[in-house]
A and B are shown apart, each in its own frame.
Chain A
Amino acid sequence: MSLLRTSLAAIALGLAMPALAQDVIRIGAPLPITGPLSPEAVKQQRGYDLWAETANKAGGVRVGDRRMRVEIVYVDYQSNTPRAVQAAERLITQDKVNFLFSPFGSGAAKAASTVSEKYQVPTIAATASSAQVYDQGYKYLFGTFTPNDTLTEPLADIVKAQAPGVNRVAILARNDLFPLAIAQEMEKSAKARGMRVVYSEKYAIGTLDHASALTQIKAQAPHWIFATGYTNDLVLMRKQMADLKIEAPIVTMIAAPAYQEFIDSAGKGAENITSAAWWHPAVRYKGTDIFGTTEAYVQAFKAKYRADPDYGEASASAAGALLQMAIEKAGTLDRQKVRDELANLNVTTFWGPVKFGPTGQINSLVPPVFQIQGAKPIVIHPPEVKQGDLRLGVQ
């Protein structure tokens, strides 16, 4: 369906602007359009489509002295990682795309990166944060999320500074690449500041009941509860915490609180929950990319989708915008040259300052830390863009 829609849109655009060159830049985007991860695919698609539309409306991407339209080719890999790898190969060999966007999440991005590396196709991962994704020494993979410790370190700093009595930490992580990796980083960050980790366990994917784990956590009387998982895991956990009357000065959850769905589902339970993400609509950057400033990006997103963008959607748009900048700098679609330009990028964009480290993962962002206050995410760090201060106490 989306392939059809994209093709129709591309045809319509092409017919509407006959003066433009007919050449097209094709970018492959394998997404979990069906299956458990489909809500994430929707976000990614919104981000990519907004970028493609914006670029095409401005006349297309400058390649040397021509302008070329952008077309995103979507393939559904059914939330199944082996199929994601297959989809990546299909996009390269059959659909003959010029570049690739990674599939969703650290696991699938890592799996598919082997294909991009084999075929030497520049690939940007919009949703892969775990350093493990980038540890193979590949040259063609780039990521827009900074490593997990860039989220946990500022969090730990803030807690240490503003809640010095906190020193018992309980960690409960979903046994999945990203949630587990970031929980491990949290453990390190907490211990590095002299806090005691009194509980650290993982729960299986698909767990429907956290009562036992939470009962144990309650028995440890922690000051800081750190939980990772996807939206449904964390909503359930929050409810069960209330069921068991668990209270703590600080409760941090990653990654759901950034999404409106979490706030809606958790209701009053979302109040004072802290979280961190790689971007927030409240940050203010003046970028040299196609969107320009962060406010301009948020406006454009709101105009098209009638909602504020979250970090997943923004990251997808950023991936497109960055690819565009690299192509324009290279002046050609030659994969090697575009790859080199990506590696040498050192720019400011609506997404933040962008510089890719030696592994291909971005290392220049300062991820915002935020807290749900009054049913809205309020940025409490970094100081330049903060909207409020940390509040203690989660009932």
Chain B
Amino acid sequence: MLYLQVLLNGLVLGGLFACIAAGFSLVWGVLNVINILHGSFIVLGAYAAWYGHALWGIHPFVSILLVAPLFFALGYAIQSGLLNRVIAAPVLLTLTLTFGLDLMLSNAMLAAFKADFRKLVLDPPLGVLSLGNIVLPVDRLAAMALALLLTLLLYLVLSRSRTGRAIVAVRMDREAASLMGVNVYRTYAITFGLGALMAGVAGPLIAMIFPISPLTGPVYLGKAFVVCVLGGLGSVPGAMVGGLVLGVVESFAALWFGPEHAVTVAFALLIAMLVFRPTGLLGRKGYE
């Protein structure tokens, strides 16, 4: 029974991890850019939801719809304005650039929102679901369901829409896509916008479950890293699998090794994956 509860805890969290990582994985896979801003985007989205709720009583589920276009625009602007200039530069420079941008955003949020933690408290609370001995909080279940839904939506966009196919094409072969008439730079910008959008909509979900503070950005970023490596870069199904695996791994690691080691075990797993199977659990790069 204990194991079942731990497993379910992990799966519920894992769905959220999948959503957190999907956009990050996309940007990394397509642009070969590690977007250090990703964690801060998530936190910014969470604050947007928090303020929406505190000031105007907007439910976080609704905030998702409001936040999406804003973050897409933000991501698009950052990519076309700044990242495009260094897109061909070595990995180190793009990484350092997004790191510097993240410092700026993080500091701005710290100055604006202060470091103390806020909690979005739903009134009335969503309560818990009891199945025999197993207890699952409804807000987490709802967040997990939405997270998986959003990730699925992303996958559909990529596989069904023209823009989506263009993104996949650029991912597979930039030159060939360009020869086929795809505007590569615009595609990059759209991809980054989508990545920012996914981060932004993860924010309200996060706000429902965890206390938020500008300081938590790196924690989400760390999760995104591990999920990407576990699931394979640029692959949305990979992000889903990776997210669920990470959730379960952390849950059981806390049980077997002690709570303070949960994240360490996840990171050790990351290193092991990188060394032995860098293409991730699903094996192939790119989309199916």
Contacts and interface: CB of A to CB of B under 8 A. Distances in A.
**A–B proximity contact (CB within 8 A):** yes
Contacts of A358: none
A235 B210 CA distance: 10
Interface in A256-284: 261, 265, 267
Interface of A: 34-39, 172, 175, 201-204, 206-213, 215-216, 219, 231-232, 235-236, 239-240, 242-245, 261, 265, 267
B128 to A, nearest CB: 6
A172 B132 CA distance: 26
A232 B213 contact: yes
Nearest to B254: A212
Interface in B5-34: 5-6, 9, 13
Interface string B225-262: 00000000000000000000000001111110011111
A208 B216 contact: yes
A202 B117 contact: no
B179 to A, nearest CB: 46
Interface stretch (B69-77, B86-94, B108-116, B187-195): B108-116
B121 interface: yes
Nearest to B5: A215
A36 B259 contact: no
A204 B211 contact: no
A38 B115 contact: yes
Contacts of B62: none
A210 B117 contact: no
B140 A203 contact: no
B263 interface: yes
A172 B219 contact: no
B135 interface: yes
A215 B9 contact: yes
A347 B166 CA distance: 78
Contacts of B259: 172, 201-204, 207, 210, 212-213
A204 B263 contact: yes
A245 B135 contact: yes
B211 A215 contact: no
B2 interface: yes
Given A37-B115, A265-B211, 18 more contacts: A36-B115, A201-B258, A201-B260, A204-B261, A204-B264, A206-B215, A206-B216, A207-B263, A208-B210, A210-B259, A211-B9, A212-B252, A213-B259, A215-B5, A219-B2, A231-B117, A232-B117, A236-B210
